[in-house]
């Protein structure tokens, strides 16, 4: 079996990713090289994953790409130096990329120099067909370079509707390892015989659950019978696949894609304007149809199952408690399957027959202050915090819990939230996981204070604190003492003690699982009660502040203090005093502040800011906290000029790639129209002035789509202050 490679200059991978998947899921190339991806570090690997392939990512540097503006002689010198370093290490070399050196232009001395370099290195360029066909002509600028001793079975180009570059490919005569298909387990509920399932549900002696006096036996009986039903009516299936599953790509759409590709091939051959217009019309039509089919499919998928059988619920004598439980069950959006293997869809399907028994288990747990052991087992899925995680610290553990445990947690949450809100247990500055509070309110509180201070000719020092694994560090004994202190009854405290003690977890990655371990502290990330318990656990922290104001969002803690410019040293002493107290109370609560990850920011007049920054001396546990001009705060890239330019660049880039579907992105667009000297500081400044944003959007496309973008940014925001317009739009929090 041969070894095959290909290269495509895609001119924005995210904009053409659907077509990219469609093509390369059907091709058997061992290596797919892509240049001009226009990827940024904040685009995760999972967003551009090609099933069956291992992603080797170097944004803008993954394969050879020479921008047209680069000095060619300098590039050739660099290329030759790289070959000199590479060739002694490897016997076989395969190099692909967009070199922007047209080999058809034989009169060009650059071509001669390029060929001489390849000849001296015993390399051969094997593509002989045009790789870019435009209205102005044809060129051979995408190359595949191989060692002379490699036997090439076949090479050439293929026209794909991804960019104005042809795909180049080569197949070699030596063996390679074949990637094994990835197995996937699932249960299909589409073809269930509803009447047969109803008969089986009615035949199970559910009432036997009332005879049990132990909740674990009760849950075991319930789970065992549901699992038997699932194995009969929706047996677990394992399929092996190496293609991306896209069920909205129907046979009709595949036919349209072929017609579109033929139209492009025809235009490439004839170069007639009429053929180009026909191709462009087909291309836009196919894109519109694919997006429409995808939207319809996702809407149908998220609409829930079991509607036909649920109508029988009206014949049941459902009391209020059962209605509350059913609302919670139908309100659970996650499709994740927990340790017990029971999916939410199957519970909904069986709900009319098992609702009263679920309600019985819930009420039993509340009366006896117990929590089933099997509901305390968490399946932990590691999610990367960064693009390319290199250590365990770069992973965020998310706990997948049984669906039934989420129902019980939601029941408890309603009662617990009512208690803490009615009794003002939480400080007003805690915005996390509370009705009427959000990241938006937290950011508005901080920025409004900063702006008021600036108007009073004061400076504000903001300290962003970072806790290390805060949710995993909660001390169970301390938490139960706090719950007693805020007025929970002894039976309620006993319930939470049962909820927290002897929790277990195991890590699952694809089809491999670790052994199960018992947790001695912390609350599971991904649980319903975890964030609320953390808020209660840290509710006392702001009381230890003497001088600073604070703002909290769960474990995100910010301190800020405003002062006149002549009191810098005194102000730093006050801030350090409060930080010392926060460090101490955090340590007493088993929470660890990470001084090396904490950041300070100084806001105020730019005229004096630099001098004052040099005078700032903020420390946590004798570690100096750096003062930065820009930092990420609750998903918002905050800068000390309060213009949010860096964040707007990210938002604008994402919007243009997903909504405007631009074809090319020359760098460095600069627009000063509508900008005042104060930039976005002026409340009357319109959001249509994106202003001095160095981004990857072309001048032509930005001007053509500026009104669309402006409407998108300011739709339904009303006449409020500029910072409220930006934050309430939700764009800055994406």
Higher-confidence residue of 120 and 443: namely: 443
**Integer Cα distance of 407 and 662 in angstroms:** 45
Higher-confidence residue of 7 and 688: namely: 7
Per-residue pLDDT at 460: 93
**Integer Cα distance of 631 and 636 in angstroms:** 8
In 3-state terms, what secondary structure has residue 275?
helix
DSSP line for 387-398: SS--SGGGEEEE
| Residue 96, strand partner residues | 144
What's the pLDDT tens digit per position in 503-537? 998 888 767 788 888 888 888 777 889 899 999 99
Per-residue pLDDT at 458: 93
What's the pLDDT tens digit per position in 23-82? 776 666 778 888 777 777 667 666 677 777 777 765 433 367 777 777 888 888 778 777
Per-residue pLDDT at 91: 67
Beta strands in 495-622 (DSSP E): 503-509, 512-513, 517-519, 549-553, 556-563, 592-593, 599-603, 619-620
Average confidence score pLDDT of the chain: 76
Higher-confidence residue of 242 and 107: namely: 107
What's the pLDDT tens digit per position in 151-200? 888 888 888 777 778 888 888 775 444 445 556 676 777 778 888 888 88
What's the pLDDT tens digit per position in 348-397? 888 888 888 888 888 888 888 889 999 999 888 887 776 667 777 777 77
Region 431-436: mean pLDDT is: 86
Q: How many CB atoms lie within 10 A of CB 106?
A: 9
**Integer Cα distance of 732 and 646 in angstroms:** 10
In 3-state terms, what secondary structure has residue 223?
helix
Region 133-143: mean pLDDT is: 83
Higher-confidence residue of 700 and 287: namely: 287
Per-residue pLDDT at 715: 38
Region 422-442: mean pLDDT is: 87
Region 418-425: mean pLDDT is: 85
The angle that helices 72-86 and 109-120 make with each other, rounded to 10 degrees, is 0
Name the band, by pLDDT with cuts 50, 70 and 90, for residue 626.
very high
**Integer Cα distance of 462 and 561 in angstroms:** 7
Higher-confidence residue of 486 and 301: namely: 486
**Integer Cα distance of 13 and 9 in angstroms:** 9
Q: In terms of Cα–Cα distance, which of 693, 622, 616, 614 is closest to 651?
A: 693
**Integer Cα distance of 547 and 223 in angstroms:** 55
Name the band, by pLDDT with cuts 50, 70 and 90, for residue 239.
low
State the residue for tokens 């102000």: 571
Per-residue pLDDT at 582: 92
Name the band, by pLDDT with cuts 50, 70 and 90, for residue 723.
very low
Per-residue pLDDT at 320: 35
Q: In the predicted model, is pLDDT for residue 557 greater than 70?
A: yes
Cα 128 to Cα 134, 139, 355, distances in angstroms = 17, 10, 69
Q: How many CB atoms lie within 10 A of CB 613?
A: 19
Q: Which long-range contacts (CB under 8 A, 24 or more apart) does 363-371 make?
A: 363/321, 364/215, 364/218, 365/215, 365/408, 365/495, 366/411, 366/495, 368/215, 369/491, 369/492, 369/494, 369/495, 369/498, 370/215, 370/495, 370/498, 371/215, 371/408, 371/495, 371/498, 371/499
What's the pLDDT tens digit per position in 627-649? 998 888 888 888 888 888 888 87
Element of type H or E holding 647: helix 645-655
Region 419-428: mean pLDDT is: 86
Q: In the predicted model, is pLDDT for residue 666 greater than 50?
A: no
Per-residue pLDDT at 341: 86
Per-residue pLDDT at 533: 92
What percent of the chain is helix, strand and coil (3-state, nearest 5)?
A: 45, 15, 40
Per-residue pLDDT at 706: 40
Q: In the predicted model, is pLDDT for residue 667 greater than 70?
A: no
Helices (H) and strands (E) in the chain, counts: 20, 27
> Of 231-235, 289-293, 441-445, which gets the smallest average pLDDT?
289-293
In 3-state terms, what secondary structure has residue 574?
helix
């Amino acid at each position: 079996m041969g070894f095959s490679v290909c290269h495509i200059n895609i001119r924005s991978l995210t904009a053409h990713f659907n077509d990219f998947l469609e093509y390369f899921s059907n091709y058997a190339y061992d290596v797919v090289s892509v240049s001009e991806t226009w990827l940024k570090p904040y685009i995760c690997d999972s967003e551009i994953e090609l099933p069956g392939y291992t992603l080797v990512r170097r944004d803008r540097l993954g394969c050879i790409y020479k921008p047209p503006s680069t000095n060619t002689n300098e590039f050739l010198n660099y290329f030759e130096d790289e070959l000199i370093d590479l060739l002694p290490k490897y016997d076989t070399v395969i190099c692909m990329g967009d070199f922007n050196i047209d080999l058809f232009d034989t009169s060009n001395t650059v071509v001669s120099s390029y060929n001489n370099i390849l000849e001296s290195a015993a390399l051969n360029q094997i593509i002989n067909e045009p790789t870019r066909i435009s209205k102005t002509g044809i060129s051979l600028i995408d190359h595949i370079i191989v060692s002379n001793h490699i036997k090439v079975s076949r090479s050439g180009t293929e026209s794909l509707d991804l960019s104005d570059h042809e795909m180049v490919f080569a197949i070699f005569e030596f063996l390679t390892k074949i990637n094994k298909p990835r197995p996937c387990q699932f249960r299909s509920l589409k073809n269930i015989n509803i009447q047969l399932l109803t008969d089986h549900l009615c035949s199970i002696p559910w009432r036997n659950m009332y005879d049990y006096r132990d909740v674990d036996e009760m849950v075991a009986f319930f789970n065992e019978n549901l699992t038997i039903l699932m194995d009969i009516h929706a047996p677990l299936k394992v399929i092996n696949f190496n293609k991306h599953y896209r069920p909205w790509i129907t046979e009709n759409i595949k036919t349209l894609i072929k017609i579109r590709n033929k139209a492009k091939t025809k235009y490439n051959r004839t170069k007639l304007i009429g053929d180009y217009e026909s191709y462009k019309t087909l291309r836009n039509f196919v894109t519109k149809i694919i997006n429409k089919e995808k939207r319809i499919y996702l809407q149908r998928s998220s609409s829930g199952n079991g509607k036909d059988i649920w109508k029988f619920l009206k014949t049941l004598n459902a009391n209020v408690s059962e209605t509350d439980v059913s609302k919670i069950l139908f309100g659970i959006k996650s499709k994740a399957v927990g340790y017990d293997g029971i999916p939410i869809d199957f519970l909904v399907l069986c709900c009319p027959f098992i609702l009263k028994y679920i309600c019985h288990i819930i009420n039993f747990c509340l009366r006896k202050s117990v929590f089933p052991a099997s509901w305390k087992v968490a399946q932990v899925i590691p999610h990367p915090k960064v693009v390319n995680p290199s250590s365990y610290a770069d992973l965020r553990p998310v706990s997948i819990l049984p669906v039934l445990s989420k129902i019980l947690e939601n029941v408890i949450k309603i009662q617990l939230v009512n208690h803490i809100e009615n009794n003002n247990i939480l400080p007003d500055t805690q915005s996390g996981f509370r009705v009427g509070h959000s990241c938006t309110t937290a950011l508005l509180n901080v920025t409004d204070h900063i702006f008021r201070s600036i108007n009073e000719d004061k400076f504000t020092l903001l300290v962003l604190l970072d806790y290390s694994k805060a949710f995993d560090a909660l001390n169970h004994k301390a938490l139960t003492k706090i719950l007693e202190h805020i007025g929970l009854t002894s039976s309620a405290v006993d319930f939470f003690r049962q909820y927290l003690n002897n929790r277990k977890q195991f890590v699952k990655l694809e089809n491999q699982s670790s052994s199960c371990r018992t947790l001695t502290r912390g609350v599971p990330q991904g649980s319903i009660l975890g964030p609320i318990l953390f808020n209660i656990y840290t509710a006392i922290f702001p009381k230890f502040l003497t001088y600073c104001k604070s703002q909290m969002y769960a474990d995100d803690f910010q301190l800020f203090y405003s002062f006149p410019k002549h009191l810098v040293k005194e102000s730093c002493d006050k801030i350090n005093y409060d930080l010392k107290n926060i460090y101490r109370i955090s340590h007493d609560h088993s929470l660890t502040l990470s001084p090396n990850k904490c950041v300070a920011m100084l806001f105020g007049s730019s005229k004096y800011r630099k001098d004052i920054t040099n005078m700032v001396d903020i420390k946590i546990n004798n570690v100096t906290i750096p003062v930065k001009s820009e930092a990420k705060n609750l998903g918002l890239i905050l800068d000390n000029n309060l213009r949010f330019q860096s964040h707007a660049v990210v938002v604008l880039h994402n919007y243009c790639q997903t909504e405007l579907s631009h074809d090319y992105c020359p760098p460095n667009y600069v627009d000063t129209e509508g900008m005042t000297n104060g930039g976005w500081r002026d409340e009357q400044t319109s959001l249509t002035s994106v202003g001095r944003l160095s981004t990857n959007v072309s001048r032509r496309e930005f001007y053509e789509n500026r009104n669309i973008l402006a409407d998108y940014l300011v739709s339904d925001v009303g006449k409020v202050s500029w910072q409220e317009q930006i934050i309430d739009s939700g764009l800055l929090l994406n």
